[in-house]
């Protein structure tokens, strides 16, 4: 088990695992992607920080990214939705650093954001634009190594036009074709270009494939 994390009670991990496994049954596509990622390891060595709802569904996303080789860190985008047992399970069973406590106060919330940024992410995942805002306002030292970021909600989408100093792309996932039940085969072209320039190879196959040169 990793040493760097901040959750309510690590002893809740077993209950969290059961919750995560239950959610996984309703996420068959993500499960198939994780199985493929475990074999191909397309994200090997990629540093990724996420600020999302810490729930069983997000936990399965984090497990999938980690299975692909990504070095992931998770903090909470909304302290009121945090599932403390899920946070504990990600730490104890998946070795994913989590900084999230249900009902955490203002100071703790922003301390957790800083912990996620201390991971020196190459990609950020937001639900409310707090991480990318932190990069722009406080951690500009991270910008040269960033490939891009994603934003999940209309709350954070207005921040996207202000991310030009990142010299990378912010993808509003709420506006992607997947939200309208259509198939998306490739990530953002700007992010693809940035990753290629850093030595990542990406195929043009119907199902996107990534590997490090």
CA atoms within 13 A on the CB side of 73: 24
| Residue 101, domain CATH | 3.40.50.1480
d(CA 158, CA 161): 7
Mean pLDDT, residues 77-87: 97
pLDDT at 200: 55
Q: pLDDT, tens digit, for every residue of 30-52?
A: 999 999 999 999 999 999 999 99
Is 164 in contact with 190 (CB distance < 8 Å)? no
Answer whether residue 48 is part of any domain: yes
Count the domains in the chain.
1
Residue ranges making up the domain that contains 96:
10-212
CA distances from 47 to 71, 87, 152 (A): 5, 19, 19
Q: Is 1 inside a domain boundary?
A: no
Confidence of residue 189 (pLDDT cuts 50, 70, 90): very low
Do 62 and 52 contact (CB within 8 A), yes or no? no
pLDDT score, position 64: 97
pLDDT in tens, 111-127: 999 999 999 999 999 99
pLDDT over 70 (residue 209): no
Residue 207 has pLDDT above 50, yes or no: no
């Amino acid at each position: 088990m990793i040493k760097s994390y901040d959750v309510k009670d690590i002893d809740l991990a077993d209950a969290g695992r059961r919750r995560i496994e239950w959610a996984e049954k309703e996420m068959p596509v993500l499960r198939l992607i994780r199985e493929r990622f475990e074999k191909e390891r397309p994200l090997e060595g990629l540093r990724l920080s996420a600020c999302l709802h810490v729930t069983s569904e997000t936990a399965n996303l984090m497990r999938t990214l980690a299975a692909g080789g990504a070095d992931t860190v998770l903090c909470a985008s909304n302290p009121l939705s945090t599932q403390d047992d899920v946070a504990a399970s990600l730490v104890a069973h998946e070795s994913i650093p989590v900084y999230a406590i249900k009902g955490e106060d203002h100071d703790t919330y922003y301390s957790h954001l800083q912990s996620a940024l201390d991971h020196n992410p190459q990609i950020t995942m937001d639900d409310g634009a707090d991480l990318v805002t932190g990069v722009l306002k406080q951690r500009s030292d991270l910008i040269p190594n960033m490939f891009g970021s994603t934003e999940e909600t209309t709350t954070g989408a207005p921040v996207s036009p202000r991310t030009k100093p990142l010299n990378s792309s912010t993808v509003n996932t709420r506006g992607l074709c997947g939200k309208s039940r259509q198939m998306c085969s490739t990530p953002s072209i700007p992010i693809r270009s940035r990753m290629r320039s850093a030595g990542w190879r990406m195929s043009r196959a119907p199902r996107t494939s990534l590997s490090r040169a």
